Homo-oligomer: A and B are copies of this chain.
């Protein structure tokens, strides 16, 4: 398989709930087991860190796209560290670099990534989101926005997507 498939996992940092973090770990693990790369915002807490930890546990490769101009605050689970020095401006790079995006938990930075993904014609899977969030993003994103309740559903949706869109 070449080039590598990058699955973006986006979600809150400091304010992630324990349930978000647990599910993010399982998601990263599942991404790794399917041979895909886990791409996140690279920080050492929240959904980013948990997803990369799960991916490492599953012997997968992890990429962190960092906001700072060095990697001092990177998660130790980020094997490849892309250092942007752009702050939240790097959210657009997270989105453009991901073949498909999974969103778990919600906060301002996360919402910007969903919106930029829709703007860039990327598929976004809203995992375990509330009704208001789903309705808002469906309104602006229509068919680009998918909804899932479990990691298994997400993996299934990614496989379906790649079956159609993966380069030969």
Binding site for B on A (CB under 8 A): 2-4, 6, 37, 63, 65, 69-71, 74, 76, 78-89, 91-93, 96-97, 106-112, 114-116, 118-120, 132-133, 135-136, 139-141
Residue pair A87, B85 in contact (C-beta under 8 Å): yes
Q: How far is the CB of A161 from chain B (nearest CB, A)?
A: 16
Q: Which residue of chain B is the closest to A109 with respect to CB atoms?
A: B119
Q: How far is the CB of A60 from chain B (nearest CB, A)?
A: 13
CA distance A106 to B135 in the complex (A): 13
**Distance of A97 Cα from B86 Cα, bound (Å):** 12
CB closest chain-B residue, reference A12: B140
Nearest CB in chain B: distance from A150 CB, A: 23
- Beyond A74-B3, A87-B92, whether A82 also contacts B97 by CB under 8 A is yes
Q: How many copies does the complex hold?
A: 4
Task: Evaluate contact between B109 and A83: CB separation under 8 angstroms.
Answer: no
List the B residue with the shortest CB-CB distance to A144.
B108
Contact of A107 among B107, B132, B133, B140 (CB under 8 A): B140
Chain B residues closer than 8 Å to A37, beta-carbon distance: 80
Q: Are A82 and B71 in contact (CB under 8 A)?
A: no
A108 touches B116 (CB 8 A): yes
Question: Is there an interface contact between B97 and A92, defined as CB atoms closer than 8 Å?
Answer: no
Closest chain-B Cβ to A154's Cβ sits at a distance in Å of 22
Note all chain B residues with C-beta closer than 8 A to A78.
3
20 additional A-B pairs beyond A4-B80, A6-B81, A85-B88, beta carbons within 8 Å, are A3-B74, A37-B80, A83-B96, A84-B97, A85-B93, A86-B89, A86-B92, A86-B93, A88-B92, A88-B116, A88-B119, A89-B92, A91-B92, A108-B140, A108-B141, A109-B116, A109-B119, A111-B114, A111-B115, A132-B135
